[in-house]
Structure 1
């Protein structure tokens, strides 16, 4: 799975920050500092829709878009893809954990404990 390009990532980030759906114009306003053309944003959002990353509903003559996955789900897919590309996924995980902060390691332990159904996060 290929990571998002720069504009794709900016569009997805804008959509993830919203509590609801957005039109191309809404996203264009969010990206004002980048100054992309309306048609460029429209094309990229249409491509993200065709790739399955966005869903859309008609809204007058336009569409309203929202993501099909959360930011966290996307991150999990990226991690899975990275592990699939590692020669030894277990070794890659060990090296990844070695680079984590103490608070990240603690959060990982808690998540694993919850996943395993344990009340003891140690």
Structure 2
């Protein structure tokens, strides 16, 4: 049995890779290795729309679906949500910083500096 969140993620990945959007049959075709029924893809797209992760627009006789937010936005939201679950935010952040690579730590420093400059202006 395939987990629902894995299917949702696979559909989002397909949508992120196609910024012009996809119809449900196109999603089925792109995820052919999963052997998904068209009704299953419609259900997944409806769930993603209910979560405000996907929007749809009529394209002739079908709907074209597009991701509302980027991979990076959803990754950041997930990181913040996990941090909120921690009872000790400073400790969790400290452990995160110890675990990231030097390149990621440098990127984090740059992002923090840019955000600080943005807040000051």
Give the TM-score normalised by structure 2: 0.88
Matches of 2:91 and 2:20, distance apart in 1: 40
More helix by share: 2
Q: Structure 2: 5+ residue runs without aligned partners?
A: none
Shift of 1:58: 1.1
Shift of 1:26: 1.4
Ranges of 4+ aligned residues in structure 1 off by more than 2 Å:
none
Aligned to 1:65, the other structure's residue is in SS state strand
Aligned counterpart, 1:26: 26
Aligned counterpart, 1:71: 71
Matches of 2:50 and 2:92, distance apart in 1: 32
Matches of 2:87 and 2:43, distance apart in 1: 37
Contact 2:19 2:66 in 1 (8 A): no
Q: Structure 1: 5+ residue runs without aligned partners?
A: none
Aligned counterpart, 1:14: 14
Aligned counterpart, 2:95: 95
Contact 2:58 2:64 in 1 (8 A): yes
Shift of 1:19: 2.3
The number of aligned residues is 115
Quote the RMSD (CA, aligned, Å): 1.5
- For each residue in 1:72-92, what CA deviation from the matched residue of structure 2 results, as whole angstroms up to 9, or x when unmatched? 111111011101101111211
Matches of 1:117 and 1:13, distance apart in 2: 33
Aligned counterpart, 2:80: 80
Give the TM-score normalised by structure 1: 0.88
Aligned to 1:64, the other structure's residue is in SS state strand
Shift of 1:60: 2.2
The answer on 1:117 being equivalent to 2:117 is: yes
